[in-house]
Amino acid sequence: MMTPDVAERRIQSLRQQINHHNYLYYVLDSPEIPDSEFDRLMRELEQLEQQFPQLITPDSPTQRVGATPLTEFGEVRHEVPMLSLDNAFDEHEVQEFDRRLHERLDTSAQIEYTAEPKLDGLAVSLVYENGVLTRGATRGDGTLGEDVTQNVRTLLSVPLRLVGTGFPRLLEARGEIFMPKKGFEMLNAKAEKNHEKPFINPRNAAAGSLRQLDARITASRPLEFYAYAWGQVEGGRLPERHSKVLACFREWGLRTNPENRLVIGLEGCLKFYKHMADKRDQLPYQIDGVVYKVDRLDLQKELGFVARAPRWALAHKFPAEEVMTVLRAVEFQVGRTGALTPVARLQPVFVGGANISNATLHNMDEIERKDVRVGDTVIVRRAGDVIPEVAGVVLAKRPKNARRVHLPLKCPVCGSKVLRIEGEAVARCSAGLYCPAQRKEMIRHFASRRALDIEGLGEKLVDQLVDAGLVHTPADLFKLTAKQLADLERMGDKSADNLLQAINKASNTTFSRFLYALGIREVGETTALVLARHYGSLDALLAADQDSLMQVPDIGPVVAASIASFFHEPHNLKVIRALRESGVRWQQQADAKKFKHSSILAGLTFVITGTLSQMTRDDAKDTILALGGKVSGSVSKKTDYLVVGAEPGSKLAEARRLGVALMDEQAFLRRIKQ
């Protein structure tokens, strides 16, 4: 019988051989042994580890698949954000990209780029500590992703341990998990055989496969990985060029795309684009364009970032796929803000890797501009993840009975009047307080901190209350009972009691907060304050028509039309009446007093930074607005004063750079008490 010492040496040898052959197969695409021999090595390792379980380690090739499914994915914060890329859709935009880089770098020399196929998969982050895979995460929103470590471990093209030497102590490799075309076809063939719903395209199949709570399901799916970037690096240095980092990745066992090229200048980029466009159909995986990245890392650093994208990289997308089909009908959907969006119901057609039966028509202006009619043969366009759209009409195929599309006069969800303000492309349902399509958004806004400030009534709880049929309008919040709340998921008697106290506290508010809470389109906090000051009472405001509203300072025709429409909708008036009957109240005198000196800050714009000791920043903002001033969230040349509290942020440096006047808290207090 084999001793533990002998078994440990043999296990180490088997692991090294298996990792070596995985590297040859997945990274170098140059296998040395047949699959049967690889399987024999794996079986021997499995048998030895079963015999000596104390010798099993997490990075063993046998430990790719966990036995216990997860109940939910954990949250991962990316220390270095996973940014998106700016897109180009034609040569001119690529030329402009190259021109901007030359201007910023102040050089006439041609720039070297790493050019890569743009994989149509799912971006992930892999963290290796001392060469061992310790975490896998999805991109998520770029800052927060999901922990899918257990799942990425199942991919044979993801090494559990890096090979070679010289890698940093901590290395975060980033890349794309995708499903090859052949694997996608096999997966769908199996689904159809088992009478299961097939996946629409390889990207959806890859995303759905990676986000399985049971890693054994992920392991059964044909997923692969290519690395193309990095995030955190500690305890070591990477080469000075992007292309050389990718070469190091390959040496360390991380698979990179063999189509990657180092190209020179704009001409090299466009030549690579044409090459990949011609080769696209022959590739074993789907791509939707190519990516250009400045190769020198010192130049990347000099170029920096803008918003959520690096200046030194660009995604050059392939042209959108277009097909013809018949427009069967046009329906109008109501969004969470009340916007009516026309949706084309199409004769199903395959385009851009998916079966399409619906497409957006954007708005009535677009329908009229393109002269889209029901019964027309239309051109449907789809590019990557972009929502399919009706790009145009084939007039030569228009039937005699083609019907014009008309905007509905009433909301298709609640039957309230549809409002389309002159000059605006979007039409909206006017029943903001009543319409079921807007219900959750309305409740969240009504309870938000700057509105009635119902502490504890967050997004998930609003979802529960609406889904359970307990809340249909904001007035229903004030009818909730302790038992109804306690029966909700993750509540209980104590939480229910706390929420009821918060709701009761919120019922005593101010007129301006109440107006803001109603969610009237175009009525923000400042306009709500102006209305409260001008009319003094709700009854007076309800009696105002559009013409009289336009006499109020700072209220123009668009805002006046929105306010008048809101208060003339019977459904809204019914909810407002129910709110007042439920006990929502405010003191008219307090509002009037607040506006006593409302003009002393008129025409001035303030920005606040740091912590104030004698009032909250919200109180300071309310005071500025009440005294006729304006408050901005960022410093600009139009800023009159920066109010500086303790521990100010970057706004202070920006104000000094622009020469904006500074005002400490004491000076601010003296100014508002004039």
Residue 658's CATH number: 3.40.50.10190
Are residues 227 and 91 part of one domain?
A: yes
554 φ/ψ sector (left φ>0, alpha ψ -120 to 50, else beta): left
Dump pLDDT digits (tens) for 511-538: 989 999 999 988 888 788 889 888 889 9
569 φ/ψ sector (left φ>0, alpha ψ -120 to 50, else beta): beta
Dump pLDDT digits (tens) for 643-662: 999 888 778 988 898 999 99
C-alpha triplet 53, 58, 62: angle, nearest 5°: 70
196 φ/ψ sector (left φ>0, alpha ψ -120 to 50, else beta): beta
Are residues 444 and 395 part of one domain?
A: no
Please give the distance of CA 643 from its chain centroid, rounded to a whole number: 33
- Is position 45 within any domain? yes
Which tokens sit at 337?
A: 């803000």
- The dihedrals phi and psi of 629, each to the nearest 5 degrees, come to -85, 180
Q: Which residue range forms the structural domain that includes residue 337?
A: 322-404
Are residues 326 and 313 part of one domain?
A: no
Q: Which amino acid is at 142?
A: G
Are residues 558 and 466 part of one domain?
A: yes
Dump pLDDT digits (tens) for 396-417: 999 999 999 999 999 999 999 9
Which residues are identified as catalytic? 118
Instruction: Report d(CA 331, CA 407) in Å as an integer.
Output: 10
CATH of the domain at 137: 3.30.470.30
Compute, in degrees rounded to 10, the torsion defined by CA atoms 278, 284, 290, 293: -130
Domain endpoint, select from 404, 422, 447: 404
Domain endpoint, select from 351, 382, 404: 404
Please give the distance of CA 652 from its chain centroid, rounded to a whole number: 30
Instruction: Report d(CA 109, CA 624) in Å as an integer.
Output: 53
Q: Where are the alpha helices (DSSP H) in 402-492?
A: 439-447, 459-467, 482-486
Are residues 448 and 390 part of one domain?
A: no
Are residues 442 and 395 part of one domain?
A: no
* Residue 218, pLDDT above cutoff 70: yes
- Is position 563 within any domain? yes
Dump pLDDT digits (tens) for 320-337: 777 899 999 999 999 877
Q: What is the pLDDT of residue 1?
A: 66
Are residues 502 and 444 part of one domain?
A: yes
Are residues 535 and 485 part of one domain?
A: yes
Q: What percent of the chain has pLDDT over 90?
A: 50
- Is position 415 within any domain? no
Beta bridge partners of 147: 137
Q: How confident is the model at residue 52 (pLDDT cuts 50, 70, 90)?
A: confident
Dump pLDDT digits (tens) for 245-281: 999 999 999 999 999 999 999 999 999 999 999 999 8
Instruction: Report d(CA 431, CA 372) in Å as an integer.
Output: 28
Dump pLDDT digits (tens) for 176-202: 999 999 999 999 888 888 888 777 778
What's the structural domain count of the chain?
Answer: 5
Dump pLDDT digits (tens) for 106-159: 999 999 999 999 998 899 999 999 999 999 999 887 888 889 999 999 999 999
- Is position 118 within any domain? yes
CATH of the domain at 32: 1.10.287.610
Are residues 496 and 571 part of one domain?
A: yes
- Is position 521 within any domain? yes
Q: What is the pLDDT of residue 593?
A: 43
Instruction: Report d(CA 23, CA 21) in Å as an integer.
Output: 5
Instruction: Report d(CA 674, CA 671) in Å as an integer.
Output: 6
Q: How confident is the model at residue 311 (pLDDT cuts 50, 70, 90)?
A: very high
Are residues 571 and 634 part of one domain?
A: no
The CA distances from residue 471 to 458, 477, 483, 584, 671, in Å, are 14, 6, 14, 16, 44
- Are 154 and 218 spatial neighbours (Cβ–Cβ below 8 Å)? yes
**106 vs 39, residue with greater confidence:** 106
Are residues 612 and 587 part of one domain?
A: no
For residue 414, give every residue at least 6 positions away whose Cβ sits within 8 Å of its Cβ, in sequence order, or none: 429, 431, 434, 435, 436, 437, 571
CATH of the domain at 556: 1.10.150.20
Give the 3-state secondary structure of residue 75. strand
Quote the mean pLDDT of the chain.
88
Are residues 376 and 519 part of one domain?
A: no
* Residue 596, pLDDT above cutoff 80: no
- Is position 161 within any domain? yes
* Residue 671, pLDDT above cutoff 90: no
Mean pLDDT of 16-23: 80
Domain endpoint, select from 364, 386, 404: 404
- Is position 72 within any domain? no
Q: What is the pLDDT of residue 113?
A: 98
- Is position 23 within any domain? yes
Q: What is the pLDDT of residue 590?
A: 42
Question: Residue 406: enclosing H or E segment and its boundaries?
Answer: none
Q: Where are the alpha helices (DSSP H) in 315-391?
A: 364-370
CATH of the domain at 328: 2.40.50.140
Dump pLDDT digits (tens) for 464-507: 999 899 999 999 999 999 999 998 888 889 999 999 999 999 99
